[in-house]
Amino acid sequence: MTLAQPDPALPASGLLPDRIPPPRGTLATTACMETLQVGYLHAVAAAAGCSLAQPFPDYGIDWHVSHSTPRHAVDDEVTIKVQLKCTYQLAPRPPGPTFSFTLDNDHLAKLARTPVSVHKILVVMIVPRARDDWLRAGHDRLELRHCCYWTNLAGHPVTGRRRTTVRIPTTRVFDDRALCEIMTRVGAGGRP
């Protein structure tokens, strides 16, 4: 009879040690944030049954999102334009009905233009400052932290010299249901 030898990778207690952060690549944090929010958009679009197209060149709009159903009144397929922004300067679950986000005036002017033939929305993602906290994977889920919020800035005035602060409603969490509801309103001839 032989006794099992202890695993040298485990401490004497038999419990796994705290996770040691992996050696991450040297890509700039802002570039990583952009990639993370694109992944969030892709996941939401997939769950909502939408297709994505990235315009080239982008002229200040990151993505075109299309939704197809015979229930739309104006066309069987409707499209919106999405501008993505990401920040770690805000805490998760911002308190109150809105949070502030500052845009360059040229970006705001493009998002605020009205009337339009294709509606635009701004999607702002709040992420943790540390990349180690951006996501957690398990056997039954992939958690992506923290959250995206959306707003339609059509008609919003440009008030700053170079930048203008806008208010993003905390009730407008950007998920698959929100995207379907946006597309339903646009498909009925309304605004997002």
Domains, in order of start, for the chain: 29-187 (3.40.1350.10)
The pLDDT value given to residue 172: 98
User: Which pTM was predicted?
Assistant: 0.87
The pLDDT value given to residue 2: 47
In the block, which residue shows the tokens 């707003």? 151
Q: Convert the pLDDT of each residue in 100-119 to its tens digit.
A: 999 999 999 999 999 999 99
Half-sphere exposure of 32 (CA within 13 A, CB side): 16
Handedness of CA 105, 31, 168, 117 (dihedral sign): positive
Q: Convert the pLDDT of each residue in 142-158 to its tens digit.
A: 999 999 999 999 999 99
Helix, coil or strand: residue 133: helix
Helix, coil or strand: residue 71: coil
The pLDDT value given to residue 151: 98
The pLDDT value given to residue 20: 79
Half-sphere exposure of 132 (CA within 13 A, CB side): 6
pLDDT in tens, the chain (192 residues): 444 454 444 444 444 456 677 888 989 999 999 999 999 999 999 999 999 999 998 888 999 999 999 999 999 999 999 999 999 999 999 999 999 999 999 999 999 999 999 999 999 999 999 999 999 999 999 999 999 999 999 999 999 999 999 999 999 999 999 999 999 999 999 999
